[in-house]
A and B are shown apart, each in its own frame.
Chain A
Amino acid sequence: MRAKATKRRKYSKKTYRESMSMGLLAVPGIILLLVFNYIPMFGIVIAFKDYKPLKGILGSEWCGWDNFKFFFTSQDAVRTIRNTLCYNIGFIVFGTMASVGLALLFYHLRSRRALKVYNTVIIMPKFLSAVILAFLVEIFLNYRFGLLNHLISALGGTGPDWYTQPAAWPFILTITKMWGSVGVSSMIYYASLMSLDGELLEAAQLDGANLVKRIWHVMLPHLTPVIIIQVILNIGQLFTGDFGLFYQVPQDQGLLYPTTDIINTYTFRALMDGNLARSTAVGLFQSVAGLIMVVGTNAIIKKVSPENTLF
């Protein structure tokens, strides 16, 4: 709104001068974005080329949609797209439930001191790299030494080598992801609960509402708008994969690809195998799908709650 006042009229000399000096501040940032973000965007032409490193990008032959066709007619397309979407949907469903639940637990905690301690511990995984995460998961799942197989053999069974059991990985990865991320995402809901009117809760209690009823009829309705926004924002990221989680934690075991290979790990492997054109094509598909999702979900948010739009 403030911008509009200056926008319509011709800028005075002073405004120009000021803008020039402010623009100067932006120059290093602009140059870096140009070099490392905008120039690579032109590289997407590789997706339409039969790229040969020796011939270079411009020298390589055009091949139309061949790289895309190759990917979309292969088993890999079904597998990676299905995995990317299904995991993200699972993360949204379980992540929302877990972080709302955790926020409610935090909210009912009376001791500030305890809250701080619990909170610090639960947020800690955010400081860990995916590599360390892989270590921690292996402590549980190692075939010979892992805690899980020890427990199983203590109970009289024999545990399998989990790193060869694709069926187990949707659970393992979802649990790992939840372990790592609910701490931070619960903070958003907790912050929202802090703004809940205490009198409303007292009134509900006076009317005889028990804890479950208070949660169901007072707290959850209070959180609903925040939940909706968070879910929509996450839906916008449906095609974005957590490369660290999916590459490090399953330790890149080929046997596990059916349930652990996502678009990001696929493009990475294609790059490492030297299939640069195919990797670019799949990456481009992911970028475009992601762009559509973000713009789409943003349009929805604009209708639901304009103050939460991204742009």
Chain B
Amino acid sequence: MRKKKSKGQIVLHIVFLLLMVAYILPFVCLVASSFTDETALVQNGYSLLPSKFSLEAYKTVFRTPMKMIRAYGVTITFTLAATLLSTVVMSLLAYPLSRPNFIWRKQLNFFVYFTMLFSGGMVPSYLLIRNVLHIDNTILVYILPGLVSAYYVMIIRTSYRAIPDELVEAAKIDGAKELFICFKIIIPLSKASIASVAFLFLVEKWNDWMTSMLYIRNPDLYSLQYLLQKLLREADALKNYTGLGMSSELMPTETMRFAMAIVAAGPVLVIFPYFQKYFTKGMTLGGVKG
């Protein structure tokens, strides 16, 4: 019944194409608005095609590109550092959890799992980071908290367990030590799952705006998303963006916000879909219990 070429398929494609419009339209508008002349936009509103093409918004954004470049630099640095560290720490932590001959497995499992069930909430962490560890207003605040996520550890553990026991047993008979088994057998065989988790983690970090909002006072350390949030919400932030020397009347404020959004989000939207394979895999892995 799925072989027949039918009207049904055409209807199905039409439904999907309508859905595509619903998903793509907002982006088209975003891009179009960023290329529209400011006065034309104020007159005609946002539209699917620029009513009057202009690069003014981008010129203004790139006139003083330092803020954007800094935010990119900060975001790339902490995203890569946190993803790398987190992947290493979580892959190691998952190993004893996956091994039946680890005698404290139950205790460790509970220790990790409990963090998923209960948390002290926002304020205690806030006080810890600001008043005890004093890592607020440094790049470390983006990297260290939340480095270990119980949920991801469980996903990695599950993928370790999927490796046949015989493999480990055979290695043991050959005299392999646990550490050797972990680094030379289990981790290499679980590369795909670990990559999926790493990618999910990376997307999460890249999109982080809350850490800046809570802990960062130095504008040079703002994350990209937070800079964008400020520009979206606060007209003043936009005026300050270019520094002095430009009166607010001359600035294409409306279109500039969109140009900013494109510059900040565009690269990722182009790159991430190539990694979608990992993404979908990670998402479906989450449904499996170990």
Contact = CB atoms under 8 A, between A and B. Distances in A.
Interface in A252-311: 252, 267-268, 271, 276, 279-280, 283-284, 286-288, 290-291, 294-295, 307-311
B121 A135 contact: no
B261 interface: yes
Interface string B14-47: 0110011011101101100100000001100110
Secondary structure of the A side of the interface? Answer: helix
Given A22-B102, A109-B12, A128 B117 contact: no
B203 A33 contact: no
A126 B280 CA distance: 11
Nearest to B268: A127
A130 B229 CA distance: 9
Contact of B1 (A57, A122, A205): A205
A2 B103 CA distance: 12
A70 interface: no
Nearest to B145: A36
B188 interface: no
Given A105-B15, A121-B23, 14 more contacts: A3-B105, A26-B92, A29-B153, A30-B93, A33-B150, A36-B147, A38-B115, A109-B9, A131-B232, A132-B225, A135-B261, A145-B254, A280-B123, A295-B117
Interface of A: 2-3, 5-6, 11, 15-16, 18-19, 21-23, 25-26, 28-30, 32-33, 35-44, 46, 57, 105, 108-111, 114, 118, 120-132, 134-136, 138-140, 142, 144-147, 149-150, 179, 184, 187-188, 191, 198, 201-202, 205, 211, 243-244, 248, 251-252, 267-268, 271, 276, 279-280, 283-284, 286-288, 290-291, 294-295, 307-311
Interface of B: 1-2, 8-9, 12-13, 15-16, 19-20, 22-24, 26-27, 29-30, 33, 41-42, 45-46, 89-90, 92-93, 95-97, 99-106, 108, 111-113, 115, 117-128, 133, 144-148, 150, 153, 165, 177-179, 182, 203, 206-210, 225-226, 228-229, 232-233, 254, 257-258, 261, 264-265, 268-269, 272-273, 276, 279-280, 283-284, 287, 289
